[in-house]
């Protein structure tokens, strides 16, 4: 019978003092110096603890004992356990980030991770709605009704109109909305701020929410939060995901998530003639390569239409 997998915390506590301290210092650097999100720091720490747990089993007692053999052995073990290419690529990137930091911090004589190659992650084309399907989803909430229906309507409109992430949507405050210019101020990854425009349908949904819906849900815990849950607190991402899924299902549309609406917005912008740099800025992508995947979505859609319609396809 195989041994049960230990938690990240248990493996962290079992590390030698020197290895454990390096994990804690690295996490502190990510959070305070690089200003990474809590979720990102947690992911890096999980990968690093996995690596150092493996290294300890190979006889390493401090970061200085790490070498390329240990790193490659770790990835090889993960592969035998069934890790996907994308997972291996991510973990290799985590290892390189750690060894680069450790070298700069004087914990490693050389950056051993710089030699580490990783399998190229296969990038799946994101699932997107057609423009007419997105229109059906936006219209599925109706124009009136309860405070919650007003809230749900503005959630869908803003996600599709702006292409912002679900965490960015939930983090919006009242002061982040500029109705005169029809833009919102968004705090994205790495605490980078950007301004994103939205259209008239989203503005009408916002007006109704602020005039009718929000006052009905607001309470002592509402603060400056733009979007509220049924108990008056800030709307949570899990609720937004449920809103999007429920309305798509009720409208008879393909399964979609908030991130799917972000993909849809980007694809429709490019299909409408927007250039890549503009879409990159709107989405808050640090690298243009992250935005270029949407050109593949448009090309795939064009190719599918060609195969279906052209007599010699």
Residue 110, both tokens: 């050389």
Q: Return the active site residues.
A: 165, 189, 259, 262, 285, 294
**Distance between CA atoms of 283 and 288, rounded to whole angstroms?**
11
Q: Is 164 helix (H, G, I), strand (E, B) or coil?
A: coil
Alpha helices in the chain (DSSP H): 8-14, 17-28, 38-57, 68-80, 85-104, 131-139, 147-162, 166-170, 200-208, 214-217, 237-250, 258-271, 276-283, 288-309
CA distances to 58, 145, 170, 193 from 36, in Å: 31, 40, 18, 14
Q: State the DSSP code for 174.
A: G
Distance CA 7, CA 27 (A): 17
Neighbours of 276 (CB within 10 A): 16
Residues 165 and 155: their CA atoms lie apart, in Å, by: 11
Q: Please give the Cα distance from 50 to 298 (Å, whole number).
A: 39
């Amino acid at each position: 019978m195989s041994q049960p997998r230990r938690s990240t915390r248990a493996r962290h506590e079992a590390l030698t003092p020197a290895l454990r301290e390096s994990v804690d210092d690295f996490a502190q650097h990510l959070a305070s110096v690089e200003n990474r999100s809590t979720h990102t720091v947690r992911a890096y720490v999980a990968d690093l603890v996995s690596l150092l747990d493996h290294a300890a089993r190979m006889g390493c007692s401090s970061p200085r004992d790490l070498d390329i053999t240990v790193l490659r052995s770790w990835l090889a073990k993960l592969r035998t356990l069934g890790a996907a290419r994308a997972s291996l690529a991510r973990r290799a990137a985590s290892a390189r980030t750690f060894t680069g930091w450790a070298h700069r911090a004087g914990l490693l004589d050389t950056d051993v991770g710089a030699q580490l190659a990783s399998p190229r992650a296969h990038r799946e084309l994101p699932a997107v709605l057609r423009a007419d399907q997105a229109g059906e989803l936006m219209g599925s909430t109706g124009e009136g009704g309860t405070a919650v229906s007003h809230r749900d309507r503005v959630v869908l409109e803003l996600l599709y109109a702006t292409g912002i992430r679900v965490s960015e949507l939930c983090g919006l405050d009242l002061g982040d909305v500029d109705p005169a210019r029809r833009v919102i101020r968004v705090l994205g990854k790495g605490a980078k701020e950007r301004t994103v425009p939205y259209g008239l349908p989203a503005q009408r949904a916002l007006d109704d929410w602020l005039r009718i819906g929000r006052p009905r849900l607001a309470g002592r815990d509402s603060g400056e939060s733009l979007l509220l849950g049924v108990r008056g607190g800030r709307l949570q991402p899990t609720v937004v995901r449920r809103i999007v899924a429920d309305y798509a299902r009720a409208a008879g549309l393909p399964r979609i998530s908030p991130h799917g609406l972000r993909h849809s917005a980007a694809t429709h912008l490019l299909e409408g003639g927007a250039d890549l740099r503009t879409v990159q800025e709107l989405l808050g992508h640090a690298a243009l390569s992250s935005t270029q995947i949407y050109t593949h979505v448009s090309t795939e859609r064009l190719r599918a239409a060609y195969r279906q319609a052209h007599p010699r396809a």
